[in-house]
Structure 1
């Protein structure tokens, strides 16, 4: 099948992290002279199943996290789960038609259902171009892994080793895909502090609830506010109800477009999902503490970050405050920041893609 120098990035509008990574990768590819197109794998599912799946996931995380924990344990990490799900087959069928029309030179997946669907096609000889999986989680559950994919890109060495052992495929460590604005430090933080009403000397602690605004962040905000030592700035995402509930506890913000500025003003980030916000904090030189993580991939990712020395996992309120207090020590703070910054010494993700390498050879 003839190809052109186009990369098809298969993402998913499930939260915001997968799409944000896809957009940043597309921006970098464009800078290299490679065209990129982003498609949502959920939109490829028939009968509006993708819309239903997104809505169901959001409901579970807000109202029945125990149910998601059960599903995660049975289907995401269990060795007894079926190798190919009906959703994978349906997504793969639609994706095959899209690929035949677009004729890309390479396919990159930034969501686990996409990785399954593309790997399914590749293994059966229905995808004649390379398939790369770009993991957006620190912990690689089984739905990220499919032997049909050609290579895996991971944000840290431990994850890369685990992925290679599980799939037998090449797995590389790449620098996290975050917007360049997060790595620019030293600017004036007075405007953002003034905007959120922070008093002089107050230590701002960002509390991330992700795009969905889920998890036990109300309790986290109360712990920080009652300590008298930290001002909680809760990132409520698109959850208006959560923002209303927290209106008298610290600062509650909706969806933020100025995250680099907030990061520059932050003393620390308290996170509950181990997703893109953690990588953004590491890029900005903000220490990360995991507390009350959401079940499933959130908890596993938080534990994986802690094992790699990239964050602190706080088991209770006392440990959370103690971890924050230790960051007031210059040596501890410097060490934590250096661990996160070291991730960005790895090669950029785009350098591993076939299209970029071929373009470099031609030049």
Structure 2
């Protein structure tokens, strides 16, 4: 069976916008190869109100109680010795509706791109209730324990090192797919000149400060002031957080932006990205060719992912204000440091892509399981 004959059910999650962005690019690539896709939010498979409540709770603790999230991450997500709580009870609540959906849509492969969905498919595959393969697309540099379930058939990871870690942890195949970023981010955008005019005179290099779709992060306005004091033009992406936009606008309204559709153009017009989550925005910046500096990362997966990005040489990790400015000074100027960083980060986009999913489809077809 080839991709042109295959049906793929993608399980995303409305936790910010990053997982949906990966799901959309995954669907685009599979459909370009002739496959058929359907994307479903795994939160919608939970009992009424549970998914919305989970998303609201997560957004609240990330934006307003980061210490609480740090504790939850340590307890539920980080690997450690001895038994630790997991998401199995929550995943169990979605089993019936997923099996009904699979029975109705008859996909050949189920593809989770969120860790709760990975637990859901892993549980069902392990006991034989889900009879088609499941392939997990891991979107994080910090591959925490909730991504991992030995019931899943294969894992697609950002780098070969991460794939090796996953394979050892679950005893299942894992490959480096690379970052799944839309083609419009590959190289400078056509709208870059328009953005440069909008951003003002070129007397100060523009630096983008990202807070994700939810506008999450600590000391964001202070980061903008710090960047401005060092001679840069800070531009704060506040997402859908109106309160953060008001705070970031005080004294310099042009520094704060809400949700931006033309991210390729804006990124292309900036000299660096200051990131706090090691998520999709950081990957999009790297695809455009913009260096990334992690600073004041959100707790849990944000901090661990930022550290892993720096360990791999894809980004800088700035533990304090002085380190942030030193990184910006080195990476915003033309020269060897910037060129090395951009070249290293470009390696994230040369992985296997969706080929492992197409190979899994062919293997499953020969074994008669689809």
Partner of 1:164: 167
Partner of 1:35: 36
Partner of 1:89: 92
Residue 317 to residue 84, structure 1, CA distance change in 2 (3 Å): closer
Partner of 1:77: 78
| CA distance in 2: counterparts of 1:355 and 1:148, whole angstroms | 18
Counterpart pick for 1:256 among 257, 260, 268: 260
Partner of 1:221: 224
Moved over 3 A (4+): 354-359
Residue 188 to residue 15, structure 1, CA distance change in 2 (3 Å): closer
Residue 41 to residue 357, structure 1, CA distance change in 2 (3 Å): closer
Q: What are the Cα deviations for residues 188-225 of structure 1, in whole angstroms up to 9, with x where unaligned? A: 622112223x2123211110000010102222111101
Aligned 8 A contact 1:270 1:291 in 2:
yes
Partner of 1:311: 315
Offset at residue 5 of structure 1 (A) = 2.1
Q: What are the Cα deviations for residues 101-160 of structure 1, in whole angstroms up to 9, with x where unaligned? A: 111000000000000001110001011111000011011000000000011101112211
Q: What are the Cα deviations for residues 260-307 of structure 1, in whole angstroms up to 9, with x where unaligned? A: 001111100100000011111111110110000000000010011011
| CA distance in 2: counterparts of 1:332 and 1:357, whole angstroms | 42
What is the DSSP-based 3-state SS (H/G/I as helix, E as strand, rest coil) of the residue aligned with 2:277?
coil
Counterparts of residues 337-352 of structure 1 (less than 5 Å): 337-348=342-353, 350-352=354-356
Aligned 8 A contact 1:290 1:311 in 2:
yes
Residue 166 to residue 77, structure 1, CA distance change in 2 (3 Å): same
| CA distance in 1: counterparts of 2:191 and 2:78, whole angstroms | 45
Counterparts of residues 10-25 of structure 1 (less than 5 Å): 10-25=11-26
| CA distance in 2: counterparts of 1:302 and 1:58, whole angstroms | 20
Counterparts of residues 206-245 of structure 1 (less than 5 Å): 206-216=208-218, 217-227=220-230, 229-245=231-247
Cα RMSD (Å) of the superposition?
Answer: 1.8
Q: What are the Cα deviations for residues 74-108 of structure 1, in whole angstroms up to 9, with x where unaligned? A: 01114432355311111122211111111100000
Offset at residue 246 of structure 1 (A) = 1.0
| CA distance in 2: counterparts of 1:47 and 1:343, whole angstroms | 38
**Larger deviation: 323-332 or 289-298?**
323-332
**Larger deviation: 159-168 or 64-73?**
159-168
Aligned 8 A contact 1:5 1:35 in 2:
yes
| CA distance in 1: counterparts of 2:141 and 2:85, whole angstroms | 23
What is the DSSP-based 3-state SS (H/G/I as helix, E as strand, rest coil) of the residue aligned with 1:270?
strand
Gaps of 5+ in 2: none
Aligned 8 A contact 2:285 2:291 in 1:
yes
2:109 maps to 1:106: yes
Partner of 2:52: 51
2:178 maps to 1:139: no
Aligned 8 A contact 1:10 1:40 in 2:
yes
Residue 85 to residue 325, structure 1, CA distance change in 2 (3 Å): same
Partner of 2:341: 336
| CA distance in 1: counterparts of 2:21 and 2:309, whole angstroms | 20
| CA distance in 2: counterparts of 1:188 and 1:11, whole angstroms | 30
Gaps of 5+ in 1: none
